[in-house]
Structure 1
Amino acid sequence: MESPSRVELPTGYEDVDIYILADLIGDMMERLLAHNDKIPLSPEALTRFHSRSAPGISIIDYLRRIVKFTNVEKTCLLITLHYIDQICARIPLFTLSSLTAHRFVITSIAISSKALSDAIRPNTLYAKVGGIPVSELNTLEREFLRMIDWRLTCTREVLQEYYVNLVRTHSKGSYIIVGTQSSSSVGSDSDMDYEMMSSRPSTPTTTGASGTGTIAGPSRHRDFGPHETSTILIDTTTLSPEPPQPPTVEQNMAFAAFQQFGGKG
């Protein structure tokens, strides 16, 4: 049944209301976290981004808070999805879950704003808004840059494809992009979760506008097993994943402390 309150959104992500964009990203991420939270945590998968317990604020409300208090630009908000895909492809053991998402998001936005925005704000602001000490944010920044190999940019076409698919797969089917397709066809796709999409499609899904081969597209998908990490959507054939490493002494000690204090994977 068609949603009677479907909202028409502009064609380009640059023109959409930033709070709607935050809700679209948060909606997708909540489904992603629900899937990845089922994956047991192992010592070698423990990272600096892990909290001992999930924060008391939902990822959607966290994104809204960031938008409200940092005046983040839309490009910097949307490119977080690209960073998630890039890092998950390069470091297969990394999982975006309820234990890692909040720290990852605030770090991503702090870094992308410095790299892509004219209005640069200090880490003291991002740390306060994100609810973490500034010293911890500084450490997370260094780790983030290492994980993504300092590759902080992508094309406008990549971001646009993420935007289109966020609208297309919104869990409530509440939105439609003006002039793209009928509301009935979008409604039929709105139940298609990102959980169902392959994180490593065999061929890139492109619009023909970009030469990167990393454009998101919902044309290839499969069911994930209970212990498979779901990322968002990219072709990873151009990336060089880091080989899995055994847990370090630090990771083993941190994992033991994590379990002692009641952390759950």
Structure 2
Amino acid sequence: MDSSGRVVLPTAFEDADIDHLALLIADMLERLMAHNDRIPLLPESLTRFHSRSAPGISVLEYLRRIVRFTKVEKSILLLTLHYVDQMCARTPLFTLSSLTAHRFIIASIAVASKGLCDTFCTNSLYARVGGISLTELNVLEREFLLGIDWRLTCTREVLQEYYINLVRTDSAARFTIPESESFSTSEDSDADMDSGDAESRSPSPLQMQAQAQGVRPPSTGTILPDTATLTPQVPQGPTIEQNMAFAALQESLGRTRSHQGQNHPGPS
């Protein structure tokens, strides 16, 4: 720890403790989810990743469960953030929320591990660890690959930038990286921000998403700013399947609220 009580992390993400990475990633995703949960859900926004209700496990505990039972690699955890940016940039109506995050995470880790690692688990194990059926994971896997246009790879430098910025933006300021080394991979972007040129850079997926929905984005954007090479898909109207799923979701939420009201009656 340093003099302020913060945990000093190694410069390279490969040397970091995997639980520290899980803490940092969960912090970022939880903030993104809290923002997106305020955006009204529309029928055309429904995807295969939507569940009828938010899972009863936090993102952090979900990541820890995956780490424990699948021995996922550190780079694969960080790639989840890259895939969120990819998906949001290509599909503006997609939002990572409390209804989509868990399915997105398990699909991301399963696909990336199988595509990029020498050793990986079977879909049956990923499904059990993720708390979904094998059939559902297979469907999510195909949907995920289509959503990111099958672009699974990412450079080590990009992952390092995610790592550095996760430490920078940690909401609890629990961690630090030695000042002399921490930002050596992103000096140009630091110089842009210090000189006031940050506004001229491409908006992050979170900012684009918020603008499209008419919602002001929070001051902490997504991690990686460069989305200029991505081609967003043109938003389409809701399909019959989406309308039916939306109606079923609304009915499910209505039953949940009614049940909660019966269990917690108001004052007489």
| TM-score interval, smaller chain | 0.7 to 0.9
Q: Which residue of 237, 246, 254 maps to 2:245? A: 254
* Structure 2 unaligned regions, length at least 5: 183-197, 257-268
Q: Distance in 1 between matches of 2:177 and 2:39?
A: 34
For the Cα contact (< 8 Å) 1:106–1:126, is it kept in 2?
Answer: yes
2:60 is matched with 60
Give the distance between the partners of 1:228 and 1:241, measured in 2 at CA.
Answer: 20
Q: Which amino acid aligns with 1:238?
A: T
Please, which of 229, 241, 252 is the counterpart of residue 232 of structure 2? 241
Q: TM-score, normalised by structure 2?
A: 0.80
Q: Aligned partners of 1:228 and 1:125: how far apart in 2? A: 40
Alpha-carbon spacing, 1:154–1:201, altered in 2? closer, same or farther (3 Å): farther
Q: CA RMSD in A?
A: 2.7
Contact 1:204 1:235 in 2 (8 A): yes
CA distance 1:136–1:3, shift in 2 (3 Å): farther
For the 8 Å contact 2:166–2:223, the answer to whether it is kept is no
Change (3 A) 1:259 1:228: farther
Who is 2:189 aligned against?
none
1:203 deviates by 2.5
* CA radius of gyration, larger in: 2
Q: Percent identity?
A: 64
Residue by residue over 1:166-198, the C-alpha shift from the partner in whole angstroms, topping out at 9 and shown as x without a partner, is: 00111111111134479xxxxxxxxxxxxxxxx
**Matching of residues 137-176 of structure 1 within 5 Å:** 137-176=137-176
Query: Which residue does 2:215 correspond to in 1?
Result: 227
1:12 & 1:19 partners in 2: Cα distance?
15
Give the match for residue 96 of structure 2.
96
Q: Give the alignment's TM-score, normalised by structure 1.
A: 0.81
Q: Is the 8 A contact 2:165 2:223 kept in 1?
A: no
* Pair 259,232 (structure 1): closer, same or farther in 2 beyond 3 Å: farther
Counterpart of 1:28 in structure 2 is: 28
Paired with 2:222 and 2:177, the residues of 1 have a C-alpha distance of 24
- Match of 1:136? 136
Q: Which has the higher helix share?
A: 2
Q: Is contact 2:33-2:98 (8 Å) kept? A: yes
Contact 1:8–1:175 at 8 Å: present in 2 too?
A: yes
Q: Distance in 1 between matches of 2:120 and 2:181?
A: 38
**In 1, Cα distance between the equivalents of 2:35 and 2:223?**
12
Q: Which amino acid aligns with 1:89?
A: A
Rounded Cα–Cα distance in structure 2 between residues aligned with 1:157 and 1:168: 16
Q: Which amino acid aligns with 1:90?
A: R
Residue in 2 aligned with 1:107? 107
Amino acid at match of 2:175: Y
Superposed counterparts of 1:50-89, under 5 Å: 50-89=50-89
Separation in 1, partners of 2:138, 2:44: 23
Q: Any residues of structure 2 matched to 1:205-216 within 5 Å, and which?
A: none
Task: Indicate the residue corresponding to 2:19 in structure 1.
Answer: 19
> Aligned pairs, how many?
233
Name the counterpart of 2:125.
125
